Amino acid sequence: MGSELIYRRHENQPVPDTYSPKQPKPWLAVERPVRYLLREQRLLFVLVGMALATLVFTLAPRAPLSPVKSTRPTTSDFTALESLSHRVAFETQPSYSFNPGGKIPLGLKRKGLRIVVTGGAGFVGSHLVDRLIKRGDSVIVVDNFFTGRKENVMHHFGNPRFELIRHDVVEPLLLEVDQIYHLACPASPVHYKFNPCVVWHKTNVVGTLNMLGLAKRVGARFLLTSTSEVYGDPLQHPQVETYWGNVNPIGVRSCYDEGKRTAETLTMDYHRGAGVEVRIARIFNTYGPRMCIDDGRVVSNFVAQALRKEPLTVYGDGKQTRSFQYVSDLVEGLIRLMEGEHVGPFNLGNPGEFTMLELAKVVQETIDPNARIEFRPNTEDDPHKRKPDITRAKEMLGWEPKVALRQGLPLMVKDFRTRVFGDQKEASSVAS
């Protein structure tokens, strides 16, 4: 009954005997949209819009690499450091840029990396952390504060991209990260004469093994900060990376020299045997703000002595040579090495060579022309000459130091002055 009520119109239509395919639309069917586009200068508007968009994406400045600014105050030294470093040039150079495809259009952020810096509360580590945070990465500092200080990284507290873990690298640690900068190791002679076996060998051997194990497990890239000390008392001058060195294996300094040599060996073994992506930097003498005061390194010794009106102690005849690199140059080299394609090792140092007496003169000129020089017997195994050949770093990393000793030293002196006299000033202001 219901079905009878349904009106089936098609049943009344005549059914054709033969199948005839649908007629193709004439080409002129596009004529209508074309005419629509041409009407009221619509096409013109579309073209002008496209031209404007192209112009904006081509000429617009890149998005800032550090969208989150630390709420903590930074010292004026940082501003000075920034002006001296050539990071701006680095970040705009396409070959080392993190966006090889071109500029990051406004509004689009570069994806930050997760990076561990062991020894990040120390002198070099804290400057490296500043750069990585500024670039927009998330940084985890792992430090046992043996020679490092919380004050060096305190200005990042409260930044969600910064974490600080008190941990000894001699103990294993599991973290999900993209890169590991392995700096943990006290670097000054004063410290490596203290309990050398436990501290140095364990840190350099067990600590490096642990961090390489972590890199292997999570597939992170690993950078080892080795040292020019692997060349010992060099018989070749200046030192090229292919030189195997002249190290006394049983001397007082050998815990440091041999420890770093073993760390290099382990790094290369993990690279060859386990396919870990590694980088090795051989760092030459570096100076700058946040260096440990009284840590026995020659630049910090002279600066602290001159500020306190004490005689500058020169060991031996003062004719031994060293080269001095400003910390921002080193940080630049470390980042280029990590981001580049070459394993190394690479010498990272300033090839400008100074005798200890010449250095003492520069310190006198900068701080106190009347500062006295006092000679003391030299320490055992003190290298006579040290000067990096940086041809490899120049050619493969496009890196060379920019800051001369006379430019960098005043920045360090400013920081030391605040730390050496800071307490006294506070004490006097409290008293008055």
Stretch that binds ligand NAD, among 87-95, 103-111, 138-146, 399-407 (CB under 6 A): 138-146
Query: Given the complex with ligand NAD, which of 104 and 185 has the nearer CB atom?
Result: 185
Give the one residue of 85, 115, 136, 144 binding ligand NAD; rule: CB under 6 A.
Answer: 144
Query: Given the complex with ligand NAD, which of 203 and 239 has the nearer CB atom?
Result: 203
Query: Given the complex with ligand NAD, which of 315 and 375 has the nearer CB atom?
Result: 315
Structure tokens at 398: 């496009």
Stretch that binds ligand NAD, among 117-125, 242-250, 380-388, 418-426 (CB under 6 A): 117-125
Considering only residues 164 through 203, tell me which ones interact with ligand NAD, judged by CB under 6 A. Answer: 168-170, 183-187, 203
Note every long-range contact of 420-428, with CB atoms under 8 Å and residues 24 or more positions apart, other chains counting: 420/293, 420/304, 420/307, 420/308, 421/307
Give CA angle at 376 (371, 380), nearest 5°.
135
Stretch that binds ligand NAD, among 141-149, 301-309, 356-364, 410-418 (CB under 6 A): 141-149
Considering only residues 350 through 409, tell me which ones interact with ligand NAD, judged by CB under 6 A. Answer: none
Q: Is 328 in the site for ligand NAD (CB under 6 A)?
A: no
CA-to-CA distance for 29 and 38, rounded, in angstroms?
15
Catalytic residue among 256, 270, 287, 326: 256
Structure tokens at 314: 């020169």
CA-to-CA distance for 356 and 143, rounded, in angstroms?
32
Q: Among this protein's residues, is 256 annotated catalytic?
A: yes
Q: Is 147 in the site for ligand NAD (CB under 6 A)?
A: yes
* CA torsion, ordered 412, 339, 276, 153, to nearest 10 deg: 30
Q: Is 286 in the site for ligand NAD (CB under 6 A)?
A: yes
For residue 114, which phi and psi values (nearest 5 degrees)?
-100, 120
Q: What is the DSSP letter of 232?
A: B
C-alpha radius of gyration, the chain, whole number: 31
Considering only residues 227 through 256, tell me which ones interact with ligand NAD, judged by CB under 6 A. Answer: 227
Burial class (CB in 10 A: 0-12, 13-18, 19+), 68: middle
Binding residues for ligand NAD, total number by CB under 6 A? 30
Query: Given the complex with ligand NAD, which of 185 and 278 has the nearer CB atom?
Result: 185
Measured CA to CA in angstroms, residue 37 lies from 15, 34, 65, 97, 342 at distances of 42, 5, 42, 42, 55
Q: Tell me how far, at minimum, the Cβ of 166 lies from ligand NAD, in Å.
A: 9
The residues, ordered by sequence, that sit 6+ positions from 401 with a Cβ below 8 Å of its Cβ are 325, 326, 329, 333, 349, 350, 351, 390
Stretch that binds ligand NAD, among 107-115, 283-291, 315-323, 411-419 (CB under 6 A): 283-291
Query: Given the complex with ligand NAD, which of 136 and 186 has the nearer CB atom?
Result: 186
Give the one residue of 148, 340, 383, 408 binding ligand NAD; rule: CB under 6 A.
Answer: 148
Q: Tell me how far, at minimum, the Cβ of 146 lies from ligand NAD, in Å.
A: 4
Q: Is 285 in the site for ligand NAD (CB under 6 A)?
A: yes
Q: Is 143 in the site for ligand NAD (CB under 6 A)?
A: yes
Structure tokens at 51: 């031209």
- Determine contact, residues 114/176, Cβ cutoff 8 Å: yes
The residues, ordered by sequence, that sit 6+ positions from 328 with a Cβ below 8 Å of its Cβ are 81, 82, 84, 85, 87, 127, 288, 403
**Of 327, 332, 334, which Cα lies nearest the Cα of 288?**
327
Q: Is 122 in the site for ligand NAD (CB under 6 A)?
A: yes
Give the one residue of 81, 112, 119, 181 binding ligand NAD; rule: CB under 6 A.
Answer: 119
Considering only residues 205 through 224, tell me which ones interact with ligand NAD, judged by CB under 6 A. Answer: 207
- Determine contact, residues 84/407, Cβ cutoff 8 Å: yes
Query: Given the complex with ligand NAD, which of 220 and 292 has the nearer CB atom?
Result: 292
Q: Tell me how far, at minimum, the Cβ of 381 lies from ligand NAD, in Å.
A: 16
The residues assigned a catalytic role are 256
**Residues forming the site for ligand NAD (CB under 6 A):** 118-119, 121-125, 142-148, 168-170, 183-187, 203, 207, 225, 227, 283, 285-286, 292
